[in-house]
Every structure is written in structure tokens, then in C-alpha cells.
Amino acid sequence: MNEQEQSLIDRLYDKTGPGASEAPQTTDAPASPMAERLYGKPDLDLELNQYSAISDLRKKYSAGPPDAATEQAWLTEVQTRYGQEDMELARDMVVRDKNLKEMLEKTRLGNHPEVVKIMIALARAEKRKGSK
């Protein structure tokens, strides 16, 4: 994905810019077809609010990846909050979506507590449905 495509996706999910009042307010809406065309059909069933949360983090750290101390603090927090099984579920979910995995590796946001929380929630939802 080039920078122009990523910028368009960012604007689609920008809650503060023009058209923000027109953005869907539900938390269970799927990603827009436009985002899917640009991002690629995600392998994961991310909801709009989950796309937004990850996109917001990527924007926040667009100037550069977090420093080592920040990454260590995130890792400590998620290890304290979640068990080994949940951490493995999160990793398994990320591996399934090539574009997401690539972005998380590039930005070094994979251990961010919000990203881990989203991936665990997706994995648990799939388990409840009997998937995987």
C-alpha cells in the first residue's frame, strides 16, 4: 500500500476531520468496502472501531516507532494483564492477516496493550463461534 492509499484510509477513519459527523457510530460495523479495496480484504473480522483503534495508534507513532523503554512497558503490562494462552491467541490472530502483521512489525506496535486486547477479543469471539 502506498502513502496516498494509507492517507485515504486514515481519513476514512479520522474521527476529528471533515465528515466525522457522518461516520457510522456503531461499534460492530464492518470495515467499509473502500477500506477493504485499499487495505486488501482482511483475513480477520475486524470491526470498524477496531480498525480505528489500530489506525489511531499507527498515526500516533508515525514519526517513529516507540522507544525500547515504551515497548518494554507495554510488554510488561500485557504479560501482567493476560496469560500465556491469551498472548498466543493474539499472536495467532496477527499472523493470519499478512497486511496487519507487516504494519505491526514495521511500526513495532505489536505489543501495544490496545492491539493485544483487540487480537485477544477476536480470538475469543472465534472460539465462542467454534471457528479455528
pLDDT value of residue 75: 93
pLDDT value of residue 2: 55
pLDDT value of residue 112: 94
How far apart (Å, rounded) are the C-alpha atoms in residues 27 and 76?
28
DSSP state of 6: H
Q: What are phi and psi of 73, to 5 degrees?
A: -65, -40
pLDDT value of residue 21: 39
How far apart (Å, rounded) are the C-alpha atoms in residues 3 and 64?
15
pLDDT value of residue 74: 95
Q: What is the pLDDT along the chain (132 residues), one digit of tens a residue?
A: 556 555 545 554 444 444 443 333 334 444 455 444 444 445 677 777 887 888 888 888 888 889 999 999 999 999 999 999 999 989 998 898 888 888 888 889 999 999 999 999 988 888 888 755
